[in-house]
Amino acid sequence: MSSMKILVALLASALIPARAFAALRVVTTTEDLAALARAVGGDLVVVEPIARGYQDPHFVEAKPSYLLKLRRADLFVQVGLELEAGWAPSLLTNARNPRIHPGAPGFLDASEGCDILEKRAGPVDRSLGDVHPLGNPHYWLDPANGLRIARRIAARLSELDGAHAADYAANLKRFETDLAAREKVWDEEAKALRGLRIVTYHNSWPNLAKRFGLEVVDYVELRPGIPASPAHVAALIAHIKKDQLPLILMEPYFDPKLPRKIAGETGIRVVIAPPSVGAEPALKTYFDLFDRILELLTANLPGARP
């Protein structure tokens, strides 16, 4: 190569922003964690989720493409509390990237430091269904936990990329400010929900219920992950009629056939709400998720137009 060509190549490379070379690769188990990582990482990170928001995160089919993502990752963020126990550990092992193994700087369990509900003190066996002894893993459905997760991700990114610690801190501050503003709006919208007694399909919503004043009093499933028996359905129908329960809240990845059958016999409304970012195409951010959930719940309150 001539000296002129070398000079041109050097000049061209100098024009490329330095941060393009410094971008950290972040792999998250869910789109919720990915949205939070993008919020605090900004254009300094490339974030790729594994489970999509419209999928049940308990059950993810391991694919070779996931191994490639993990092999190149600088940071791996999981929900934890055994939510991904059926698939994440094997992916991490087979990816052969020690930087993101448990205990390494590139591994982050987002549950640490969060408000975790329903921790079990006694023994747990299969008869109890899909029970998580370490606590309910759907904790991201409380914005206060979302803030805790964002802070931990920002701190870990700063450890891995100290040169841009100030940028991560500024992104986090912006997220904190925006979240505080959105929570004021959500609290106003949720006033009509406080004290509302509802049924949920799966036990995915305790953090959301606690934050916005709902009370979950029954479930469509017999036990978590165990289909309802005829006796359970009959008892649930009787409960709905007796207490005039207004809503069944369920995730989009469960079959709505039984809830709609129960609705036909009782008049209860079935609300299929997104439990995660990405469950609907328009849900791109963590804020979008709560906007949509509260929109659906308030639109289906008793007296609201169907």
- 64 versus 180: the higher-pLDDT residue is 180
The answer to whether 128 touches 98, Cβ cutoff 8 Å, is no
For 223-230, what is the mean pLDDT?
Answer: 91
Whether residue 264 is predicted with pLDDT greater than 50 in this model: the reply is: yes
Q: How far is CA 185 from CA 103, 155, 177, 179, 214, in A?
A: 39, 28, 13, 10, 17
- 137 versus 306: the higher-pLDDT residue is 137
Domains, the chain, with CATH or none:
13-185 (3.40.50.1980), 191-299 (3.40.50.1980)
Task: Indicate the pTM of the whole model.
Answer: 0.89
Crossing angle of helices 143-160/286-299, nearest 10°? 170
Residue 122's pLDDT band (cuts 50, 70, 90): low
- Per-residue pLDDT tens over the stretch 282-302: 999 999 999 999 999 999 998
